[in-house]
Structure formats: C-alpha cells, structure tokens
Structure 1
Amino acid sequence: MKRNLEKIYDDWILAEDHPCIMAQTVFSQKNIIIENYKRFGISGSTEKLLKDLENYIENYDFSSNEFQSFIAVFPESEIHNEDEFELVLWKQLSDLKKLDNRPWDPSVSRNPEDVNFSFSIAGRAFYVVGMHPESSRISRRSPYPSIAFNLHDQFEKLREMGVYQNVRNKIRDRDMGLQGSINPMLEDFGENSEARQYSGKSTDKDWTCPFHQ
C-alpha cells in the first residue's frame, strides 16, 4: 500500500504539474516520506505518527540545503466538506501534541492566535499543510486526506539563501494560473497567524482556532 501511495502522490505532484514548486522539487529528488495511518482517530495511529515524526527529525540534516517533507496520509477517512476536515485536522494535531513530551519550539509561539504561531512537535516548529479531496483550493485537493509536515527551518533556509520571495511569488503565480486566484489565506510568517492556513479553508476575522493543547 505504501508504494501505491507514493506512486499516487508522485503523479499528483509531478504528472499533474502541481503549482507548488517546492513540492515538485522534493518529489523529483525523492526527498519525501509518505506514511499510511489509515483513518483519523483510530487506536495507535497518533502514537505511530508521533514516533515517525520523531524519527524524521532525528534523521534530518539541518545543515543541508536540500529540502524534505513528511506526509501523513489517512486513506480510509471520508471527508465530506472543508468544515469537517478543519475539525479532524486540528483534533489530530491536538491529540499528537498531548502525547508529545518535548517543549514547544522556543523560536515560535504556541498560541494559535499569535502572529508568530507555528505548530511544534518534538521540539521543532512545523508549517502544516492540510489536504483533502473536497478542498475548495485545487492545489489542496490531494488524492486522500493528508497532512504535510514541513520543518520551519526550511523556510528560514530559503530566506538565508535569498530566494524565499522568488519561490513564494512563483508559487502564487502558478496558483493564480491554476485557479484564477491566489489563496487568500496565504500570508508571510509574522503577518497573521499561520494557523489560519493549515486546513486550506477560507476564514473570516472572527475565526477561532479549534486547537486544544
């Protein structure tokens, strides 16, 4: 099943010319880890996900300029709309954090209302990308409900390399070409809480993050 998932997601990103050029890079270089957790909320799935993320961090080369991504896939979960996905996504992240005995990454805020918020697991900050077949954003319509975990260090590395803005602008231009609009939730880190971006659903100013620490 894992090999089939890798092929399915490889086709989605590369063969279908996904607008995220960073995703295309990690897939083309085989710097991607895809794991199957069957369904959200089943016994043992959160424990396995935490252990896999801990192993991922332990084996990640933070000195390298190569980028990697970790994708958790829940192929047996049925998602009917964006509101439902937002709730199960944050429930999964909340459950994951409850099992994590490491402190929050001190470089980011643990308050999802804070502009410097970023999800932390095993002491490392991650930018989380929720994806599912019913997303209103074409670029988020993954073959199965999924959560991509991208280390925040990678975005800082892009800034150090002086290419962050170029990469960001190319992705937004490609998203515009695909859907005719840029995802209104996409903002730079520090402008607004990135928690609003995680599920892919459009939110209004009164939105409250359903995250329980």
Structure 2
Amino acid sequence: MELLKRDLINRDKLPFWKRDALEKFEIKMMDKDMPFPCIPATQGFSLNHLRYAFVRDPREDSSSHELAELLSSYTLNSKELGRYTSLIVFFETPPDLIDTYNVEKFEQLFWKQLNKLTELDSVEWPNHIPSDPTQPAWEFCFHGEQYFMYCASPAHKNRSSRSFPYFMLAITPRWVLELFNSSPSYSKKIKENIRKRLSKYDSISVHPDLNTYGNTDNFEWKQYFLHDDDSTLTKCPFHKLINEVKKYR
C-alpha cells in the first residue's frame, strides 16, 4: 500500500478501474464550465498537493485495514505535502455494488469504515477532542490527527458535489482547514464563492447541515456523508463505538 502523487503514477500499469477512477476525478477537478464547488480542493489538485490511494471493495473487511495503513502513513507525512493537501481514496466499486446499493447503504459502508478505523487506531484519541459527536468540538481523529471526512458515492444523483462513479473519500487534516481560515476576510470570500458554485453544481439546495467547525450549532459528523435530499440521521453511528473503544483501552 502506498500514497501516490498524480504526476508520478504509471497509468499503463494500473488496472482499468484504478485508471478510470483517477481519470474521472481529474475531469471533475479540471472542469471549467462547471467548476467543482470546493475551491481549496481544486487548488490542492492544481498544485499537486493531493495524494491518492486505491483500496479494495469497501464491503470486504480487509479494506479497512488497507485504509488504516494508508491513513497512518499520510498522517506522518501530510505536513510535507503542501498547505492544500488531502488524501483521496478510491474504493474498488464493482457493478453489483453500484446496482444494489442506494445512498443509505453507502452511508452505512462509510460509517463502517470510520468505526473500523477507530478500532485499528494505535494512537489514543486526542484529549482535547470530545469523544461524543453531539459536542460541537467533535471531529473524527486518527493517529492523533483531526480530520474532516468527505464521502462521495455512485448513488448520489441530485447532489453532484457528492456524486462519483466510485465510492470515494477525501480526507483533509484540520491543520489544512485552520490555515485556510487564518485570514478571515479571505476565507469569508472563498466560502461565499463556494456556496455560489454549490448552488449551480447541485440540482438541489445546499444541505442545511453544512456549517463551520467551532460554531456552537455545528456538528461535523452530519457533514461527512450528505444525503441526496435535505434529510439527515438523527443519531451519529459513530457515537456508541468510540465510547466503547475508549472504555477498554
């Protein structure tokens, strides 16, 4: 398992699905007629700060072990990769998975991956981050690093910003987001432009759960996997497990 830099990938040696996933991601990031809403993501792509990884079918238990290994490596090296870095993870997504899984089932796969990552984490959950997702300061942590988790799936139709032909994660360190927010006037302007792009990109209104980390009415977990409508889960699937993991450590 290795983290890949886009310009150094030998595409001729990639299996079809991996090459296809990478090419479709590039098309999405480089589209000038319908630019991807997240401006920092497109900057990270253009500057080659992103790193890429391929993981097997997310239904297989071994996929979580692969993801944990990759994220551990990324955590140790991310601060050397650039201020707009994120880890882009493409999961093998066979036709039967696409045909039989709706948004809700992909959501269950997503939380299964995060729960398993926590089980496999060799580093204690940071003391300054609450273990309860109902607290506004909570966010997912792995290997001692705070992360924003973005998930896209083939089942999303209305919300194009969360639609991708393969089950996909974009994992962004909190320090990247803090750098982005270090200039309030700049970040305010960019966020306004992101909202404008989002309203054009999706065929549905901006999801009401989108918010800003640190706000008292913000819940990060609700933003990780957005539904294809304005609905949301009433309870975080991660809540029970994180407390059980901490209890027995």
* TM, length-normalised to structure 2: 0.77
Deviation of 1:87 (Å)? 0.9
Residue 176 of structure 1 pairs with residue 176 of structure 2:
no
Cα pair 2:41 2:84 within 8 Å, conserved: no
Which structure has the higher relative contact order (CA within 8 Å, separation 6+)?
Answer: 1
The one-letter amino acid paired with 1:131 is A
Residue 125 of structure 1 pairs with residue 152 of structure 2:
no
Deviation of 1:7 (Å)? 2.1
Larger Rg, first or second structure (1 or 2)? 2
Give the corresponding residue for 1:70: 87
Residues in 2 aligned to 1:105 and 1:194: alpha-carbon distance in whole angstroms: 16
Aligned residues, how many? 211
Q: Secondary structure at the match of 2:71?
A: helix
Cα pair 1:37 1:73 within 8 Å, conserved: yes
User: What is the percentage of aligned positions where both structures have the same residue?
Assistant: 25
Mean Cα deviation higher: 167-176 or 89-98:
167-176
Cα pair 1:12 1:142 within 8 Å, conserved: no
Residues in 1 aligned to 2:220 and 2:212: alpha-carbon distance in whole angstroms: 8
Deviation of 1:169 (Å)? 1.5
Cα pair 1:26 1:32 within 8 Å, conserved: yes
Residues in 2 aligned to 1:74 and 1:121: alpha-carbon distance in whole angstroms: 19
* TM, length-normalised to structure 1: 0.89
Residues in 2 aligned to 1:65 and 1:76: alpha-carbon distance in whole angstroms: 29
The one-letter amino acid paired with 2:136 is V
Cα pair 2:136 2:219 within 8 Å, conserved: yes
* Structure 1 residues 52 and 82: alpha-carbon distance in aligned structure 2, compared to 1, 3 A threshold: same
Give the corresponding residue for 2:134: 113
Residues in 2 aligned to 1:35 and 1:186: alpha-carbon distance in whole angstroms: 27
Deviation of 1:76 (Å)? 2.2
Report matched runs for 1:24-35 at 5 Å: 24-35=42-53
The one-letter amino acid paired with 2:212 is D
Give the corresponding residue for 1:146: 168
Deviation of 1:203 (Å)? 3.5
Residue 54 of structure 1 pairs with residue 72 of structure 2:
yes
Residues in 2 aligned to 1:7 and 1:160: alpha-carbon distance in whole angstroms: 33
Deviation of 1:156 (Å)? 1.1
Structure 1's unaligned 5+ residue stretches are: none
Superposed CA RMSD: 2.0
Deviation of 1:40 (Å)? 0.9
Residues in 2 aligned to 1:58 and 1:65: alpha-carbon distance in whole angstroms: 13
* Structure 1 residues 9 and 51: alpha-carbon distance in aligned structure 2, compared to 1, 3 A threshold: same
Residue 88 of structure 1 pairs with residue 106 of structure 2:
no
Residues in 1 aligned to 2:210 and 2:236: alpha-carbon distance in whole angstroms: 16
Summarize deviations over 1:126-176 as a string: whole Å, max 9, x none. Answer: 011010121231111012111111111111111213322222211111101
